[in-house]
Amino acid sequence: MPFLNRVEAGRRLAKALAGWRDEDPVVFALPRGGVPVAAEIAAAFHAPLDLVLVRKLGVPRQPELAMGAVVDGAEPITVCNEEIIAGAQIAPADFEAVRARELAEIERRRRFYLGSRPPVRVEGRCAIVVDDGIATGATVRAALRAIRRRAPARLVLATPVAPRDVVADLCDEADAVVCLETPEPFWAVGAAYLDFGQVEDEAVIATLARFPPDEGSARPSLQP
C-alpha cells in the first residue's frame, strides 16, 4: 500500500525501528524530504534530531540522473557512480564543476538551516540515518560514510521505500537497514506516496525548532 505522506511513513518506520529505541539513538535526516520522516522517529523515541547535508551530483544534461553524491565535512566525501559517468561521457572537469556547485549549496543550507545550532553528539550512540526514499543510493551512501566517521556504536539506515538491489548493496555501509517497501519494478520514490509534495526550506527550519539541541553537543571533527 502507498504511504499517505511523509509523516505517516515516519510513524510506520518508528514502529519498525522500535528495537533501537533504548540504545541512546540520535536521528539524522537527509534534507529536505527526509526531515518530516525523521522527525516522527525522533519524536517517538524522544531522541535528538540533526541533519546530514548531502547533495546528489546530477548529470549536467539530466540533473535527475545521479552520477554521484557529495556530503558535508572538513574533508567532503564524494561517492561516484562510475557506470553513469562512463555512460554519459562525463569529463572530469564537468564532474568537478557540478561537485563545486553542490558543495556551495551544502554550505548555504548549513547556514540557513542550522546557523549556530551545534550538531548532536554521535560517538558511542546509535545513529539512525533517515531519508524519504532511495533510488540509486548514491546520496545515502555518502551520508552513511560521513556519519560512520563520527564513531557511532551502531549505524542504522531507515527509509520507507527503495529498490531491493539497492537495499542489499547498502547493507555494506550500515550495521542494519530498515526499509518498509521494496516494490518490483521500482519506478520512483514518489510513486510510493499519495502526497509527495515538496518540503520547503521553512518547513525544515520549523521542524528542527521542535527539537532542542542535544545537551553536551560539540561540533565534531569529520576528519578520519
In contact, 218 and 118? CB cutoff 8 Å: yes
220 assigned to some structural domain: no
Q: Given this model, what pLDDT does residue 216 score?
A: 45
Q: Where in the sequence is the domain holding 63, given as residue range(s)?
A: 56-112
Same domain, 44 and 127: yes
Same domain, 136 and 198: yes
Same domain, 125 and 16: yes
39 assigned to some structural domain: yes
For residue 6, whether the previous peptide bond is cis, meaning omega lies within 30 degrees of 0, is no
Q: What is the CATH number of the domain that holds 198?
A: 3.40.50.2020
Same domain, 148 and 199: yes
Angle among Cα 83, 72, 116 to the nearest 5 degrees reads 160
Indicate yes or no: pTM above 0.95.
Answer: no
Q: Given this model, what pLDDT does residue 159 score?
A: 98
Total domains, the chain = 2
Residue of 141, 164, 132 lying closest to 12 (CA atoms): 132
Same domain, 40 and 150: yes
Same domain, 77 and 148: no
Tell me which of 75, 96, 112 is where a domain ends: 112
Mean pLDDT in each 10-residue stretch from start to end of the chain (224 residues)?
94 97 96 97 97 94 91 87 94 96 93 90 96 93 94 98 96 97 94 96 96 61 33
Q: Given this model, what pLDDT does residue 119 score?
A: 85
48 assigned to some structural domain: yes
Same domain, 30 and 60: no
Q: Given this model, what pLDDT does residue 215 score?
A: 58
Q: Given this model, what pLDDT does residue 28 score?
A: 98
Q: What is the number of other CB atoms lying within 10 angstroms of the CB of residue 20? A: 20
Same domain, 34 and 140: yes
